[in-house]
Amino acid sequence: MNDPDAGKYHKRFASEFKAAAKALSGRGGELQWSTHDWQCFTYREPGVSLVFYPHRGPSSRLQWLRVRNQGSKSAEAMREVIAILAEKASIHTRKSRH
């Protein structure tokens, strides 16, 4: 199923993008808006690759942002970035079995 909002998340999640950019500013990574289906933006630094995506609960019309690992090679660096995002930008990961 195609995402009708692909490439159009700039307005809806602008404050989250700014918060993530501010929180991660000293790490030397790259935060970019995405044009892919079901992706708002991505973050990459050596060893870390994350994707930020819209999420809606099963009984909610509200939509919020989540972040997930996208093939990061350094688990330690990824956990550091995730912790920074949770603490300083209020962006949380999805629960996974990894």
- The CATH number of 14-93 is 3.30.310
pLDDT of the residue at 60: 63
pLDDT of the residue at 48: 97
* Percent helix / strand / coil, the chain, rounded to 5: 30, 30, 45
The confidence band for 96, taking pLDDT boundaries of 50, 70 and 90, is very low
Tell me: pLDDT of 26 over 80. yes
Kindly write down the DSSP assignment for every residue of 16-52, as one continuous string.
HHHHHHHHTGGGT-EEEE--STT--EEEEETTEEEEE
pLDDT of the residue at 3: 84
The pLDDT tens digits of the residues spanning 30-87 come to 999 998 888 999 999 999 999 999 877 667 666 678 899 999 999 999 999 999 999 9
With beta carbons less than 8 A apart as the criterion, state whether 41 and 6 touch: no
pLDDT of the residue at 12: 86
pLDDT of the residue at 62: 63
Phi, psi of 85 (to 5 degrees): -65, -40
pLDDT of the residue at 61: 66
Strand order of the β-sheet with 48-56 is 30-33, 41-45, 48-56, 63-69, 92-93
- Rounded CA gap, 98 and 96, in Å? 6
